[in-house]
Chains A and B, each alone.
Chain A
Amino acid sequence: MSCKDLDLLFTGSGRLPAEAEEHLRSCDRCRSLAKAIGEPGAAATIGPALMARLQSSATEHLRPVSPLPSPGFFVGVFLVILVAIAFAGVARFGMPGFHALSLGRKIVIFSLLGVSAWTLAVAVAHQMTPGSRKWMNAGPLVGGIIAILLAAFALLFRNFDWHAFTSGGMWCFRTGIECAIPAGFLIWLLLRRGLLLNPVSAGALAGALSGLVGLTMLELHCPIFNAFHILFWHAGVMILATVAGAAIGFLMNWVRN
């Protein structure tokens, strides 16, 4: 047994196995460490006045509260919001883009959008409860999803033409944002039921999920299969929504402190 193996045993609370005891007998460094961390020092005592204050603040105006529903419930609600708003947009503008896509493209694009939506919804739901199991860091998660979507779009749409880039794109961008804003508002209404320990991460994730609503609507509606158009104006909705969400989270944190 090595000193490193012993470290894992130090983190536990049970009795050390015979092998570890044997190592301790032969290793001075580990023996002195075991002795030092085995004595946790004096327990913190709290004076009666402070304890009374703490107890009275905890019991003052005490009312029953309903615990938050499970993360699965919130994931389900987030996905319902996504589908409802994307289809409301499609109901208004139609879905010529979906009909014009080949079956292969439909499968790839909407599978990726579905997996991304589910992943982001789970990540947002985990932000609501302190001490919940680590899911994934917000930055790499959102960055990874956006990178995968951009790569998929670049591979699927090989028409690289700058014709009518701005005139055709502005409508898509504005409409995507118009779908992302109500989605973001509804997600925020749910999010504020939880305790957001990291508002920037929570904001970025919620923003990315809202932006995905706009992106999904555009993929269903827009019949322009130009790579630059999709990469910039469609994916731009998700990127802008992510940045806006993180900025709102940052502002909330700044105001709170």
Chain B
Amino acid sequence: MADDRVDQDPGPPRLEILMARYQQADAEGARELVATVSPLLLRFFLADTASRNRAEDLLQDTWLRIHKSRHTYRPGEPVLPWFYAIARHARVDAYRRRYRVDKHEMQMDRLPERPAAVAEPDRLPDLDSLLAVLPASQREVVTMLKISGLSIEEVARATSSSIGSVKQKAHRAYEKLRSLLSESGRAATGRGA
């Protein structure tokens, strides 16, 4: 688990330099920044929605907001919490819009459910299907910590909450995951016997 960030984490100093170049209207820096940060943001959105199209829409919306408010990033501050704060806000706004639209639309007899990942009996469920059972606030914290590779301090900044609150949410999420994994382990043992 110690190496899970190696391929994803581009390292804050490099991102901060790219962000500074973006603010100075360096097109090449901006393109590199988009190429580096977009997969992280898309992964963040995919952890919360089953629809790839919706996640891509959110990504585009987020980049529009980032572009419009790029002056609000202060050089020297951690850049990832800045990106994630804007991304989660874009997601909340989209959720509110969707909620308002859904209120005025006819409900189907049965809503399509998010497909559950099918785990092989002898394998642990993957992280995405585990995260799907967590409440949204806990899922967000674990996604940022374990998938996006943010530190506790960065998650606290991105979610406008305190470090203590982030630790508490992570602890509750891990407890829930432990119980879930124990149950799935027992079920697998039962099938094997």
Chain A residues engaging chain B, CB cutoff 8 angstroms: 3-4, 7-8, 10-16, 28-30, 32-41, 43-46, 50-51, 53-55, 57-59, 62-68, 70, 128-134, 193-195, 197-198, 256-257
Contacts and interface: CB of A to CB of B under 8 A. Distances in A.
A32 B22 contact: no
Contacts of B34: 51, 54-55, 58
B1 A257 contact: no
Contacts of A195: 65, 69, 72, 86
Given A54-B60, A130-B85, 5 more contacts: A38-B1, A58-B30, A66-B71, A130-B86, A195-B72
Contact of B38 (A38, A51, A68): A51
Contact of A7 (B8, B27, B170): B170
Contacts, number: 192
Contacts of A193: 71-72
Among B93, B149, B178, which residue has the most Cβ atoms of chain A within 10 A? Answer: B178
15 contacts: A7-B175, A10-B146, A11-B167, A13-B5, A13-B151, A29-B181, A37-B1, A41-B128, A41-B147, A44-B39, A44-B42, A51-B38, A57-B64, A57-B67, A195-B65
Nearest to A256: B93
A55 B35 contact: yes
A12 B167 CA distance: 11
Given A32-B182, A130-B86, A197-B160, A39 B75 contact: no
Interface of B: 1-2, 4-5, 7-9, 22-25, 27, 30-31, 33-35, 38-40, 42-43, 46, 56, 59-60, 63-67, 69-75, 77-78, 80-86, 89, 93, 96-97, 100, 124-128, 130, 142, 145-147, 149, 151-152, 156-158, 160-162, 167, 170-171, 174-175, 177-178, 181-182, 185
Nearest to A198: B160
B185 A32 contact: yes
Contacts of B38: 46, 51, 54
A29 B127 contact: no
Which of A7, A28, A44, A198 has the largest number of chain B CB atoms within 10 A?
A44
A190 to B, nearest CB: 13
Q: Most B CB atoms within 10 A — which of A37, A55, A194?
A: A37
Contact of A67 (B5, B23, B83, B161): B23
A37 B5 CA distance: 12
A203 to B, nearest CB: 16
B2 A68 contact: no
Nearest to A34: B1
Contact of B74 (A11, A62, A68, A257): A68
Given A34-B1, A36-B125, A43-B7, A131 B77 contact: yes
Nearest to B4: A40
A36 B160 contact: no
A63 B71 CA distance: 11
